[in-house]
Structure 1
Amino acid sequence: MTQSFTIRRPDDWHLHLRDGAMMDTVLPETARHFGRAIVMPNLVPPVVTGADAAAYRARIMAALPEGMSFEPLMTLYLTETTDPEDVREAAASGLVTAVKLYPAGATTNSHSGVRDFDNVRGVLEVMAEIGLPMCVHGEVTTHDVDIFDREAVFIETVLDPLRRATPGLRVVMEHITTRDGVDYVKSQEDMGGTITTHHLIINRNHILVGGIKPHYYCLPVAKREEHRLALVQAATSGDRHFFLGTDSAPHPDHLKEHACGCAGVFSATNTMSCLAEVFEAAGALDRLEGFASLNGPAFYGLAPNPETITLTKGDPVTYPAKFPVGEDHVTLFDPGFPLHWHVEA
């Protein structure tokens, strides 16, 4: 039985660092294991322009603890007033790696997102022309669609028509949660799909059975067990379409444990230990490197990280349950089972 193995240093292709005190707390937790991360732009106000992205990147680098190596890959928040030429210039300078599409109202701080896709055609055409990927939160937000069906309906009514109308547009469907999402991404040539740590481990029962568990509540919400199993199969299959995007999304505990709690799971600290357990259970430890370290860079046209990390199996790892943020805390994702894989970065 494998007790130790070494892989290229992984990357996180979907990460929320927030800002201010929260960023000070969570940034080191990502930088400890991950070489790079696609940083989400849904701040308040959002990161819309190249100038916004440059300023945010500067704040991230200023918050990075001395001696830690980490590269934030910046994104722009797509709005109906985004300037296509600003996007072109930000991409040409190397400042931004992708543009993020939030359907308006789909998730945390998404109210500046897109309502009328005709208003962003010019930006999408420029992105297709220059090869700049679009990262998509794939859910419709109409009230007549059940929350558990929003991903499947988005693929049929928004994503597929949008891609057909914009030939050459490269798309990452983020945090896939359904078999529908897996099947669609696999069938497309110029697409990638990120899968989160928590969606590989929890289904909707974990949120609701025995009382509401606010620290498992996320958007897209976890689905039925059959969908979780489809995600595990995709992640552990070695298929180049799929790569790690934790969607680690911290909120202070007082906003999670609330009458109208925020959506988001904070998993940066223990993701690699969790993934090793998932891949070992699937008999696929030899494919973890592809999912966490190789497929993402290949999609984005980047070289894998030259550094490595080693995972060693032993007695259960003890991670802090909570991390201080000012006078509050942020709670770490609890997979619900012991983690035996230690990460030596």
Structure 2
Amino acid sequence: MILNSPLDMHLHLRDGEMLGQVGKLSAESFSGAVIMPNLVPPVDRLDMVHDYRGRIESAIGDHVFDPFMTLFFREYSMEELEAAKPHIIGIKLYPAGATTNSEAGVKAIDAAEPTIRRMEELGIPLLIHGETHGFVMDREKEFLEIYRHLATTFPKLRITMEHITTADAVKLLDEYENLFATVTLQHLLITLDDVAGGMLNPHLFCKPIAKRPEDRAALLDAALKAHPKLMFGSDSAPHPRHKKECCGCAAGVFTAPIALQVLADLFTKNGCAENLQAFISDNAQRIYGVTPPAKKVKLVQRPFDVPATYGDVDPVVPMYAGETIAWSIESIDA
């Protein structure tokens, strides 16, 4: 199987030593990725975008990889947005406190609307972590009304529902022309039962939390059919092992090193191998109007033993740690 210029449309690379550990793992096999801005402090100025991009480029070395940068949502003037537009792929909105490093996020959508209006005028996409602060299994479903409000109030604004987890969100994709979505690897594979149905598995705990079997089925069906408004976004979110295997477990699943291999297996097993290219790259290129660097990744049905951890400084545990998966990357031509 050959994948051309695979893209990860939602990626956490962190910063500092962690960036040094995980950056190359995405840059090796992916042609580009949408980089999340929820650092400490958040990336909410153009100079911070430039500085962070520079650190990413230093960390990935010679790998052919385009980091599509984002700004952390706050109130922006028209002048700030005009200056930022050539250097970013969009602006990421986090409800305050909804997930890791989101304390500086938005507390009320109506207060955010003047900036959103300016974004619409300039054609800057809005990327949203769509959860309320309600009961954990209902947070995404409750947020769908906000998506409806934004889609109708700002009909020319391109809105990406990040890491959708419910059948209701899949249905919403077809209701509004300006709504799009990303979905993660883990949400195509697991339910809440895998996280907490037996012994708690902290390395599968993420936000939004995995949902019900019927939600997973709807997400998987849309991905396998390469729904034209759905893109792969790993939300690969590395945390040191000691911050996952502890009280107050950090939210995030680390999938960067195994995402393409597992997707190849998943699509092939379901008789949809021909749709993986659209899901992993073509849809995103069309939706965002990007042309990523050329890269050909050849995958083969050969067992791959997933390491127990990645990195020496603060080891990170990947999904399927210590297990053998069915597909391997045979070669990368860039």
Q: TM-score, normalised by structure 2?
A: 0.95
- The DSSP-based 3-state class of the residue aligned with 2:285 is helix
Rounded Cα–Cα distance in structure 1 between residues aligned with 2:157 and 2:227: 21
Structure 2 contact 182–233 (Cα < 8 Å) conserved: yes
Q: Name which of 311, 318, 327 aligns with 2:305.
A: 318
Structure 1 residue 151 corresponds to structure 2 residue 140: yes
| Contact 1:152 1:180 survives alignment (8 Å) | yes
Correspondence for 2:195 among 180, 204, 207: 207
Q: Which sections of structure 2, spanning at least 5 residues, go unmatched?
A: none
CA contact 2:95–2:129 (8 Å) conserved in 1: yes
Superposition RMSD in Å: 1.5
Instruction: Indicate the SS of the match to 2:177.
Output: coil
Instruction: Name the CA shift for 1:336/1:220 in 2 (closer, same or farther; >3 Å).
Output: farther
Task: Report how many residues are paired.
Answer: 331
Distance change in 2, residues 1:279/1:175 (3 Å): same
Once residues 33 and 265 of structure 1 are traced to their aligned partners in structure 2, the CA distance between those partners, rounded to angstroms, is 18
Q: Distance in 1 between matches of 2:135 and 2:296?
A: 43
Q: Choose from 100, 119, 123 the match for 1:127.
A: 119
In 2, are the aligned partners of 1:40 and 1:75 still within 8 Å (CA)?
A: yes
> Of the candidates 75, 92, 106, which is equivalent to residue 100 of structure 1?
92
Residue type matched to 2:15 in 1? D
Match of 1:13 among 6, 9, 20: 9
| Worse-superposed segment, 111-120 or 217-226 | 111-120
| Pair 1:254-2:236 in alignment | no
Which range moved further: 191-200 or 329-338? 329-338
State how 1:53-132 maps to structure 2 within 5 Å: 53-65=49-61, 67-79=62-74, 81-91=75-85, 94-132=86-124
For structure 1, which segment, 14-23 or 115-124, has the greater mean C-alpha deviation from structure 2 after superposition?
A: 115-124
1:273 equivalent to 2:248? Answer no
- Shift, 1:299, TM fit: 0.4
Post-superposition CA distance 1:193-231 (Å, at most 9, x none): 101011111111111122111000000000011111111
Counterpart position of 2:227: 239
- Preserved contact between residue 308 and residue 322 of structure 2 (Cα < 8 Å): no
Query: 5 Å matches for 1:157-236?
Result: 158-236=146-224
Answer yes or no: is 1:334 the counterpart of 2:329: no
Inter-partner Cα distance in structure 2 for 1:264 and 1:245: 13
Residue 122 and residue 193 in structure 1: after superposition, are their counterparts in 2 closer, same or farther (change >3 A)?
A: same
Alpha-carbon distance in structure 2 between the residues aligned to 1:264 and 1:217: 6
Q: Decide whether aligned partners of structure 1 residues 329 and 337 sit closer, same or farther in structure 2, where only a CA change above 3 A counts.
A: closer
> CA shift at 1:84, angstroms?
3.7
Determine if contact 2:151/2:179 at 8 Å carries over to the other structure. no
Equivalent residue in structure 2 for 1:48, among 36, 44, 51? 44
- Asked if the contact 1:194/1:244 (under 8 Å) is kept, the reply is yes
Contact 1:294 1:304 in 2 (8 A): no
Give the residue type in structure 2 aligned to 1:61: E
1:307 aligns with one of 295, 313, 320: 295
Which ranges of structure 1 fall in alignment gaps of 5 or more residues? Answer: none
Query: What's the offset of the Cα at 1:88?
Result: 2.1
Shift of 1:118: 2.5
Q: Using a 3 Å threshold, how does the CA distance of structure 1 residues 336 and 167 change in structure 2: closer, same or farther?
A: farther
